[in-house]
Amino acid sequence: MRYELMYESFFKIAEGVPLTIQLVIISTILGIFLAIAVALMRISGNKLMSAPAYYFVYLIRGTPLLLQLYFVYYGLSQFEFIRESILWIILKEPYWCGVITLTISTGAYSSEIIRGGILSVSKNHIEASGALGLSQVKTFLLITLPITVRQALPAYGNELILMVKATSLISIVTLMEITGIARTIISKTYAPVEIFLVAGSIYLVINFIIVMLVNLAERRLGIEKAT
């Protein structure tokens, strides 16, 4: 073990932490809106709405994230009309390609979690709120959504951890986050075990903090642990 190298590389790798966290936060926030939209489309009961949502989720869940990233980053830029359109301002940046890919991916996965949450809301609640004269929008915002959040939170915590892990792929399109920096140091120093331990511990700490935060939120919302 080269402890000095581990000590030095810790500070170098730590410089990638803000980018990793930034990617997670931006894509998660954008992804949640996408997820709610897709989930509502799926349970709308209208074939024209639910079918595209179903195939979207099927497509994203059935293909590797790396392939989706390549598709957005390399695939779309093949076309002249995209390179000349206003979209190019966003699509030429690896950062935004990463955010778009992560958003689409988490949107598809979380839409299933949210759908499960919405479906678990008892019909009686909806009927009761109708009897109280609440409009459909108000029923959704005041009754369905809070219950859904409670139901979906434990599963959503897992999705957040998967997101942190997924950001590592963005290093492949030249973005220097934790894994990107770790990879560069490994190929310079040829000390894979040491660098793995350093970068791996950073990820574990980030994920541990997320688990703590989700647990805290669960306790505040009064969710009882299944065990």
Partner 1 sequence: MFDVFALGPTGWGDEMLMGALMTVLVSTSSLILGILIGIIFAFCKLSNIFALKIIANTYTTIIRGIPELLIIYLLFFGGSGAVMYIAKIFGYDGYIELNAFTIGTIAVGAISGAYSTEVIRGAVNSVHKGQFEAGKALGLNGYGLYGSVIFPQVARIALPGIGNVWQITLKDTALISVTGLVEIMRQSRIAAGSTHEPFIFYTAAIILYLIITRLSNILFDKAENTYSKGYVSKEAI
Tokens standing for residue 148: 């859904």
Contact flag: residue 203 with partner 1 (CB under 8 A): yes
Contact flag: residue 213 with partner 1 (CB under 8 A): no
Tell me the residue type at 194. E
Nearer to partner 1, 36 or 113 (CB): 113
Round to the nearest angstrom and report the end-to-end CA distance of the chain: 40
A 10 A CB-CB count for 60 gives 19
Q: Whole-number minimum distance, CB 26 to partner 1, in Å?
A: 18
Q: Whole-number minimum distance, CB 59 to partner 1, in Å?
A: 7
Residues near 94 by Cβ (< 8 Å), separated by ≥ 6? 73, 170, 173, 174, 175
Contact flag: residue 166 with partner 1 (CB under 8 A): yes
Among 50, 144, 207, 215, binds partner 1 (CB under 8 A): 207
Contact flag: residue 22 with partner 1 (CB under 8 A): no
Binding mask 29-68 for partner 1 (x = CB under 8 A): -----------------------------xx-xxxxxxx-
Contact flag: residue 150 with partner 1 (CB under 8 A): no
Nearer to partner 1, 33 or 79 (CB): 79
The stretch among 25-33, 90-98, 147-155, 182-190 that binds partner 1 (CB under 8 A) is: 182-190
Tell me the residue type at 215. N
CA angle in degrees (0–180, nearest 5) for 224-61-89: 110
Residues near 68 by Cβ (< 8 Å), separated by ≥ 6? 60, 101, 104, 105
Burial pattern 106-124, b for ≥16 Cβ within 10 A else e, equals: bbbbbbbbbbebbeebeee
Binding site for partner 1 (CB under 8 A): 58-59, 61-67, 70-71, 74-79, 161, 164-169, 171-172, 179, 182-183, 186-187, 190, 192-193, 196, 199-200, 203-204, 207-208
